[in-house]
Amino acid sequence: MANPTTSLAPARATKASEAGALVISRRRRRYSLLTNWDKLILVVMVGVPLTLDLILIWGPTIASILLSFTNWSGIGPVTGKNVVGLKNYETLFFGYSLFWPALEHNLIWLAFLTFVATPMGMFLAVLLDRELRGKRIYQSVFFLPVVLSLAVVGFIWTLQYGPSDGFINNALGLVKSGNIIDWLGNPAINLYAILVAASWRHIGYIMVLYLAGLKSVDPSLREAAKVDGATEWQTFFSVVLPVMAPINVIIVVVTAIEALRAFDLAYIINRGKNGLELLSVLITNNSISEASLVGFGSAIAVILLVISLGPIVLYLTRVMRTVT
């Protein structure tokens, strides 16, 4: 379990019974091959990147947790007087009008991607996973938005959604008739409007990941199902989908992480206000951009962290299982 490198050893062994002995002898030999100089190089090669990762990623993660129990403003040292216990969380849950809407928007984002965009991406992958004229063109087009930055995606969709100068309202004749729909300004609909834009990008991403997974399915399984008289959809649901279970989990996790990271689109459209509040935007607005409520902002960061840990742990256990 702790040693991923052993997984290759049995494959190299000629007889299964010899595999165990071979691994052990190899491992011992490998260590003796390393000089002290080599060991020092090994420590530096891993140590430098690891130190940077710990200082700039994991240090701040822990600092966020600790700061969430303080009322620190970001200036001067943190002293015992700054410790306020759970007060930030209390304010967050009971006294801050933007928290629950933001959480709800994050969950809607997650649900929309999980139940609408991701299945669409999977569906396109299934459609394209066959010999098909022009398959490469279809694939390239669906994937194209993935290479664009969310900032650019935001601007491109502003051109569609603009109240009096956007494509949709003009094409529907709403500007002429004076019944303008403010797609991005109306808090009842703007979240869904930008979710369409986010999906435009997300669907292609999922399609590519799922296509790669479908390619790894053993073709003989499908052949067997075909011989047994299964239709294409029967084959997919009862043969392909169960085999793809590990990849399905990864797809769901990737979707969840994307949804929790959502920031750019909402920020570009209206700085995450008026219907587009998200946890990620509240963190920066409270602690950096507008106020200096570092402790309070950190408490929001902790909530986001706790939600993110679910998919992250799921991903790690799945991925590391295939590694070992």
Partner 1 sequence: MSTIAAPTRIPVGPRRRPVKPARIALHVFLTAMVLLWLFPLSWAIFASLRPIGDTITNGFVSWPEHLNFDNYIAAWTQADIPYYYVNTLIIVVPGVILTLLLASMVAFCCSQFSWKFNLVVLMIFTAGNLLPPQVIIVPLYWIYLNTPLVALGSIDVGKFSCPLFSDNGLLYDQYLGIILIHVVFQTGFATFVLSNYMKTITKEITESALVDGANLLQIWWNVVLPLCRPALAALATLLFTFMYNDFFWALILLQTGLKRPITSALNNLQGEFFINYNLIAAGSLLAAIPPIIIYIALQKHFVAGLTLGSTKG
Site for partner 1 in 65-104 (CB under 8 A): 67, 74
Q: Say whether residue 36 binds partner 1 (CB under 8 A).
A: no
Q: Extract the tokens encoding 281.
A: 């935007």
250 binds partner 1 (CB under 8 A): yes
Does 311 interact with partner 1 (rule: CB under 8 A)? yes
| Encoded amino acid at 266, one letter | A
312 contacts 257 by C-beta, under 8 angstroms: yes
Q: What amino acid is encoded at 276 in this protein?
A: L
Q: Which of 25, 58, 93, 179 binds partner 1 (CB under 8 A)?
A: 58
Structure tokens belonging to residue 15: 């007889």
Backbone angles phi, psi at 322, to 5 degrees: -70, -25
Nearest distance from C-beta of residue 238 to partner 1, angstroms: 20
Please report, as residue ranges, which positions from 251 to 290 form the binding site for partner 1 (by CB under 8 A): 254, 257, 260-261, 263-264, 267-268, 279-280, 283-284, 287-288
Q: Which residue, 191 or 281, is less far from partner 1 as judged by CB?
A: 281
Q: Provide the 10 A C-beta neighbour count for residue 14.
A: 8
Exposed/middle/buried for residue 140 (C-beta within 10 Å: 0-12, 13-18, 19+): exposed
Of 21, 86, 212, 291, the one binding partner 1 (CB under 8 A) is 212
Q: Does 21 bind partner 1 (CB under 8 A)?
A: no
Considering only 5-13, 183-191, 217-225, 234-242, which stretch makes contact with partner 1 by CB under 8 A?
A: 5-13
Residue type, 132: L
- Our finding on whether 320 is near partner 1 (CB under 8 A) is yes
Distance of CA 238 to the CA centre of its chain: 28
242 binds partner 1 (CB under 8 A): no
Residue 156 tokens, joined: 């491109």
Residue 192 binds partner 1 (CB under 8 A): no
Q: Does 136 bind partner 1 (CB under 8 A)?
A: yes
Judged by beta carbon, residue 165 or residue 228, the one nearer partner 1 is: 165
Which member of 22, 96, 116, 143 binds partner 1 (CB under 8 A)? 143
User: How many binding residues for partner 1 (CB under 8 A)?
Assistant: 118
Site for partner 1 in 288-307 (CB under 8 A): 288, 294, 297-298, 301, 304-305
Are 260 and 230 a contacting pair, CB within 8 Å?
A: no
* DSSP bridge partners of 83: 70
Q: Is the Cβ of residue 84 or residue 305 nearer to partner 1 in the bound state?
A: 305
Which of 87-95, 131-139, 178-186, 187-195 is the region at the interface with partner 1 (rule: CB under 8 A)? 131-139
Using CA atoms, how far residue 95 sits from 65, 87, 222, 304, in Å, is 20, 10, 57, 18
Q: For residue 15, state whether it binds partner 1 (rule: CB under 8 A).
A: no
| 131 near partner 1, judged by CB under 8 A | yes
What SS3 state is found at 215?
helix
Give the rounded distance of the alpha carbon of 177 from its chain centre. Answer: 42
Say whether residue 24 binds partner 1 (CB under 8 A): no
Q: Please give the structure tokens belonging to residue 171.
A: 């094409």
CA distance 241 to 244: 5
Given 46, 86, 111, 224, the residue binding partner 1 (CB under 8 A): 46
